[in-house]
Structure formats: structure tokens, C-alpha cells
Structure 1
Amino acid sequence: MTNLGTQPADQASIPELMNQLTTQTSRLVRDEIRLAQKEFQTAAKRTGIGAGLFSTAGLLAYAGLLAVVTAAIAALALVLPLWAAAVIVAAVLFVAAGIAALVGKKQVQQAPAAAQDVVANVSEDVHVVKEARHART
């Protein structure tokens, strides 16, 4: 027959178990925070390296574009004087820049209209919610 008033030596009491639970929970939270910090540092480092490499790629692409422009001038210089070839290529580039600027301007002008539509829709939603709230009371 077992005596209910005594505890076996290998079992912890409820206060001891609660103390262990609190200690282990605190340790788990601290470890999770440290892990999150390390993961964030790793992600930030990789993002920085990626951004640097992306910038390098853009710079190299720009240099490649300049080489293509130079090749176009050199190709035209085979049939025209060098200065005329350079003027023709420059004119083509300026026309392309003008077209890009006009398309960009049109996009920017359309942006406020879209933003105003969003604001109007949100304002209408807020108004509907307020009316529904007042209808319930």
C-alpha cells in the first residue's frame, strides 16, 4: 500500500515544476530572440550584398550600352564622316529619351487620379460602416 503523504524521490513537487516551467520558458524566449536576431543579420547581409551586385550589374549594363552606341557611331562612320555619324546617333538617342519622358509623364499624371479613386473608395467604405453602426444603435 502506498502512502499518499510522501513523494517518491524522483518526482518534483508542483512548485518545483512551475519554477522549471518558468525558467525553461524564459530560456526558450531568449533563445528564440537570439535566433531571430541572427537570422535578421544574415538576411540583411545577404540583401546588402545582393543590392551591391545589382548596382554593379546596372553599371556594367550602362557601360555595355555606351559600347553599343560607340559601335553604332563607328558603323555609320564607314559611310559618313565621323561627326555626322555621331550627330545621327545622338539625335536618335534624344528622340528615344523624349518618347520615354512623354510616356513617363503620362504615367505620373495618371497616378494621382488612381490615388484619388482609392481615397474616394475608402471614404465611401468608412461612411457605410458609420451608417451601419448608427443603424444598430
Structure 2
Amino acid sequence: MEKLELSEAEWRERLSPVQYHVLREAGTERAFSGSLNLEKREGEFHCGGCGTLLFRSTDKYDSGSGWPSFTEPASPDVIAEYRDTSHGMIRIEVRCAKCDGHLGHVFPDGPGENGLRYCINSVSLDFQPD
């Protein structure tokens, strides 16, 4: 996948302050505060930083965690995984493979065939209904 590389000034111009904080500084929105947590329409979830298709509504479910949760990405190559040891925990951070934007984390407690739960910040996504 071709990488999108922008300067910090270009990212700040492209993103809202809260999007910048989450996507570029690995911030997190408060649980149950995101606009997409309860989204139930059919459609696609694209990266809020670069527009890459990341998740589909058919893989979204209500995990009760307070963040949009998915059982798998739209394609394996759209997500990059990194070991995250911040906040005294060991987790797997997920980022957009194209723009390196922070999306959230993946946990091994999901209901799908692979047993994964992609726990994603609403602000890092752009929902496009069918």
C-alpha cells in the first residue's frame, strides 16, 4: 500500500483538533462519547485521515465497551499493528496502514471466527452509509 506522508502542519490543516489528537497523537475519545458507537446503518468505515476503507458495517457489533467494535478489518493490509506498553498495560495498537493514523486497539475477546475485537475511536473514522 502506498503511504501517505504529510507534514504536521498539513495534518493540522486537514484534521479537526480532536481528530488530530487521536489520529496523530494516539489520543482516545471518552467511552460512549463517539458518534459512531451506536451506528447501525449499513455502510463502510473509512480512515478519517486519508479515506482508506478500514471496516464494513457487516463486521461491526456492540461490544458494550463504549467504542465502535469490529470483528475484522475490510482487508488485512489496511491495518498495521504495534505493541503498545503505555498506561501500564500491554496492548496491540492498530493504525491505518496508509497514513499511520492511530485508530485504537485490538483485543483477543471478540465474537467472530478469529476471536478479535477491533476497538476503534469514532473520531478516527469517516462513516459512509450505503
* TM-score for both structures, normalised by structure 2: 0.16
Higher relative contact order (CA 8 A, sep 6+): 2
State the TM-score, normalized to the length of structure 1: 0.16
Name whichever structure is richer in strand by fraction: 2
